[in-house]
A and B are shown apart, each in its own frame.
Chain A
Amino acid sequence: MTEHSRDLSRRRLLFGGAAVGAGVLLAGCTSNETEPTAAQTKGADAAASGNAAPGQKVVIGFSAPAADHGWLAAITTNAKAQAGAYSDVEFKTVEAGADAAAQRAAISTLISQKPNVIVMLPHDGKELNAAGLEAMKAGIPVVNLDRAFPDALAYRLQIKGDNYGMGVAAAHYIVDQLKAKGVSNPVIGEIAGIDSLELTQERSKGFADTLAQSGLKVSNRRAAEFTADSGQQAATSLFQALPKIDAVWNHDDDQGIGVLAAVNQANRKEFFMVGGAGSKKAMEDIQADNTVLKATVTYSPSMASSAISLARLIAQGKGMSDLVELQVPKEIILASETITKENASNYLKLGF
């Protein structure tokens, strides 16, 4: 028994030691320190006009959902950085929580703190419409980011990307390239994002509509989930279904990491690919020109930076200096731009 128990206690000690050791090692492995991605800001000194000059003090309240994706993370980073670039802006973030209800509560708190203007990326435009109305009624202008409120009274300014336009831009690029290469009857693949989302459907519709104008169509379309691993699996399935491909549009550069991995694993080089959203890594790949990724169409989180700038102007009662109007317009839809090897260097600082 004593023999047994000594043996047992030694085993326990060894095991315990190993566990503690592994724990310490692992704890050391949580660090992610690296040079931070440059946020997409416009320096106060860069502007030629007098709008950038410090003016009346402005408090900007900001609310966006907790990020589960690189794009959303970039939205918050950009907003923060842009606010920091102005000496006359005080930036107040409230956690939007896990769902629309939590965000509504957060907005109510924000309203009671009486900021000069609120910038909000809602969980869902319809569900937070009321929160927008409440703020506007309290005399606080609301800048809606990306997800529109159905009610025009619920916002002062709406700024968003163009999902349909992304599809259009991607299709235009693909059609031009195929024409230049003289490919007839091309095989075109599409790797979409989460299929149940409206934005995915809009992107696919823009893509299909534009291809149809040139008499082309998508040969096979697989849906992924905006994650790299799902992108890899969707791409693997797509490649198996289409033994020869001429062009592929992948909706999202984050899942594109997996798509490119699948390209390598399947050793398929016969086609070119267009990405979506415009991540920094995608732009670097395009610039390096050593993968099938030749272009990406933007849906840039830089809109958050612009939203902060415009929110400041709205609060200070100024207009956009290049426009004749004395006030900021009510709605701004960013054009989806196509980034290629030629212009990638211009966009690199906007990549997320």
Chain B
Amino acid sequence: MSDVTDTSTPERPAQLPAQSPPVDPAETAAAEQRAAGRLSWWRGESGEGARRNLWLIGVLVALIVIGIVTRPDLYGNSSWVWSNILVILKLASVVGVVSVGMTFVIIGGGIDLSVGAIVALAGVWATTVATQSYGAGGMIFCALTVGLGVGLVNGLLISYGRLVPFIATLAMLVAARGLAAELSDKQTQVSNNATINDIASTNLLGIPLLVYILAAVVIAGWVLLNRTTFGRRTVAVGGNPEAARLAGIDVKRHTLMLYALSGLCCGIAAIMLTAQATSAQAAMANLYELDAIAAVIIGGTLLSGGRGTIIGSLLGVIIFSTITNLFAINGLTTEAQNMVKGGIIVAAVLVQQVQFRSLTQFLGRNRLTTN
């Protein structure tokens, strides 16, 4: 952009008197922006996430259109369509909750490969005979505490043990699954607690409880990221850890908390998944780490940290579960489905990198460089 001084090139001519009235095009752009009034948020920094998410909604609409075209018989039935929306959201709920935690970790400049393993460990721990004897409350407490605890261990290894997040959480993936296998003696542990199992089958006002849980976690995550000091620190720590540290932010403690948060989300997800499957086992939540990371990435969060949105991650998860649904209703194989998912991830990242600038300019004639 020529209207602003890119500091990677040398300064403006020094001969320019400093006091001369600046005919700064950027200033003009800013004035235009103010003049745009109500719509200014859309073009401004807060609108950036919204613009990205619009693209994801476009993909979602396209998938639904494909569904309508390929199965007009099903889509012709309005009660089926409603139930299908709920099924898609239910399928998205567990990974969705995991993705909220993952979004924080990735915005904070890290990665958590152990989420699937934590879900499995928390689920298994919460369904041992001993835990089940404490009833639903005991099981929920157990799952949340195990998730939080494992997350804390991750965080300690990474922030104070100085392990690379990739390595630390990869090790945790292996270790947590191993411990889960040990606890369960490799058996599938059936949950006999009706309260827990009902979590997956209860509807409130025609909407599954699982969807409410997902919504609650997403809203809490959004508020935490966008309205609290915790969220601000997350962006700072991920965007420029050195700057955050030199501004007096305790980067290590915050990193620790990010992984603890991710672990806690896994604990919540473990309860949801255990309720859905009415059981838990060491191999459950297989490859959820990849599903969550993929959703976060196509949701527009930078893998290098410092920028991202919760809503984008949610849309990413919903896109994936819509694809699963689309392939199911057309009777296509899982292999083909995985290839399409891989393609979508690559396409999403490419499109966001290349086309976003032009789309952004087209939409808002916005002259801020957003990347």
The residues of A with any CB-CB pair to B shorter than 8 Å are: 22-23, 25-26, 28-34, 66-70, 72-73, 195, 219-223, 225-233, 236-238, 240-241, 243, 254, 257-258, 260-262, 264-265, 267, 281
Q: Are A30 and B278 in contact (CB under 8 A)?
A: no
Q: 26 pairs across A/B with beta carbons < 8 Å?
A: A25-B141, A26-B142, A29-B131, A30-B125, A30-B128, A31-B128, A31-B130, A32-B130, A32-B183, A32-B185, A68-B282, A69-B283, A70-B187, A195-B333, A195-B335, A223-B334, A227-B277, A227-B284, A227-B286, A231-B277, A232-B276, A237-B91, A237-B328, A238-B328, A265-B200, A265-B276
B355 to chain A, nearest CB (A): 32
Describe B's contact surface by its main secondary structure. Answer: helix
> Which of B87, B184, B277, B333 contacts A258 (CB under 8 A)?
B277
B331 CB-CB contact with A under 8 Å? yes
Is A225's CB under 8 angstroms from B283's CB?
A: yes
Are A226 and B283 in contact, CB atoms less than 8 angstroms apart?
yes
**A33/B129 in contact, CB under 8 A:** yes
Query: Which residue in B90, B131, B197 is a CB contact (below 8 Å) of A236?
Result: B90
Q: How far is the CB of B292 from chain A (nearest CB, A)?
A: 15
Kindly provide the distance from the CB of A62 to the nearest chain B CB, expressed in whole angstroms: 17
**What are the interface flags for B164-190 relative to A under an 8 Å C-beta threshold, 1 for contact and 0 otherwise?**
000000000000000001011111111
In order of increasing CB-CB distance, the 3 nearest A-B pairs are: A237-B328, A228-B277, A31-B130
Q: Could you tell me which residues of chain B, from 84 to 142, have a CB within 8 Å of some CB in chain A?
A: 84, 87, 90-91, 125-126, 128-131, 134, 138, 141-142
A69 touches B128 (CB 8 A): no
Contacts of B285 in A (CB 8 A): 229
The minimal Cβ–Cβ distance linking B177 to chain A, given in whole angstroms, is 9
Complex Cα distance, B181 from A19, in Å, reads 24
Residues from chain B with a CB closer than 8 A to the CB of A68 are: 181, 186, 282-283
Chain A residue with minimal CB distance to B274? A229
State the CA gap A230–B279 with chains docked (Å). Answer: 11
- Mask for B186-212, Cβ within 8 A of A = 1, else 0? 111110000001001100000000000
Pick from A26, A227, A233, A258: contact of B145, CB under 8 Å: A26
B154 at the interface (CB under 8 A from A): no
Whether A22 contacts B331 by the Cβ 8 Å rule is: no
Chain B stretch 18-39: residues in CB contact (< 8 A) with chain A: none
Determine if B277 and A22 form an interchain contact, defined as CB atoms under 8 angstroms apart.
no
- Contacts known (A32-B185, A70-B188); A229 close to B130, Cβ less than 8 A: no
Query: Which residue from B125, B280, B331 sits with its C-beta under 8 Å from A241?
Result: B331
A261, B187: Cβ atoms closer than 8 Å: no
- List, in ascending order, chain B residues with CB within 8 A of A29's CB: 125-126, 128, 130-131, 134, 138, 142
B186 and A67 form a contact (CB under 8 A) = yes
- Assess the B334–A32 pair: CB atoms within 8 A: no
Q: Which of A28, A69, A229, A267 has the most CB of B within 10 A?
A: A229
Cβ 8 A contact of A26, one of B125, B281, B324: B125
Residue of A222, A261, A264 contacting most chain B CB atoms (<10 Å): A261
**Min CB distance, B150 to chain A, in Å?**
11
Q: How far is the CA of A328 from the CA of B129 in the complex (A)?
A: 43
The chain B residue with its CB closest to the CB of A73 is B186
User: B40-77, CB under 8 A of A: which get 1 and which 0?
Assistant: 00000000000000000000000000000000001001
Which chain B residues border A30 with CB–CB below 8 Å? 125, 128, 130, 183
State the CA gap A70–B281 with chains docked (Å).
10
- Please state if A261 and B276 are interface contacts (CB–CB under 8 Å): yes
Kindly list chain B residues whose C-beta atoms are within 8 Å of the C-beta of A257.
188, 190, 277-279
New A-B pairs, 10, CB < 8 Å, besides A29-B134, A69-B186, A236-B91: A25-B145, A29-B142, A31-B129, A32-B129, A32-B189, A230-B284, A230-B286, A233-B324, A238-B328, A241-B330
Number of A-B residue pairs with CB-CB distance less than 8 Å in the complex they form: 143
Residues of B within 8 A of A238 (CB): 328
Cross-chain contact A240 with B129 (CB below 8 angstroms): no
A72 touches B80 (CB 8 A): no
In the complex, whether B329 has a CB less than 8 A from a CB of chain A is yes
Residue of A whose beta carbon sits closest to that of B202: A265
Interface status of B294 (Cβ within 8 A of chain A): no
Kindly state the separation between the CA atoms of A281 and B146 in the bound complex, as whole angstroms.
28
B253 to chain A, nearest CB (A): 13
Known: A30-B183, A33-B129, A225-B286. A240 touches B200 (CB 8 A): no
Interface contact A265-B334, CB-CB below 8 Å:
no
Nearest chain B CB to A89's CB is how many angstroms away? 24
B128 / chain A contacts, CB cutoff of 8 Å:
29-32
Q: Could you say which residues of chain A place their CB within 8 Å of the CB of B80?
A: 243
Taken together as a complex, chains A and B put the C-alpha atoms of A159 and B150 apart, in Å, by: 43
Partner of B74, one of A28, A226, A243, A265: A243
A254 to B77, CA, bound (A): 34
Distance (Å) between the CB of B327 and the closest chain A CB? 8
| B328 adjacent to A240 (CB under 8 Å) | yes
Given known contacts A26-B145, A241-B328, A258-B276, A265 and B201 CB-to-CB distance under 8 angstroms: yes
A281 with B190: CB separation less than 8 A: yes
Closest A residue, CB atoms, query B284: A229
Contacts of B255 in A (CB 8 A): none
Q: Closest approach, in angstroms, between the C-beta of A351 and any C-beta of chain B?
A: 13
C-alpha spacing A236/B324, complex, angstroms:
11
A residues within 8 A CB of B183?
30, 32
Known: A26-B149, A29-B130, A30-B130. A241 touches B329 (CB 8 A): yes
User: Does B262 sit within 8 A of A, measured CB to CB?
Assistant: no
Q: A254 to B188, Cβ gap below 8 A?
A: yes
Known: A30-B128, A73-B185. A227 touches B325 (CB 8 A): no
Q: Chain B residues with Cβ under 8 A from A69's Cβ?
A: 186, 283
User: Contact at A28–B130, with CB atoms within 8 Å?
Assistant: yes
Kindly state whether residue B83 has any CB partner on chain A within 8 Å: yes
A28–B130 Cα distance when bound, in Å, is 7
Hey, which chain A residues are within 8 Å of B328, CB to CB?
Answer: 220, 222, 237-238, 240-241
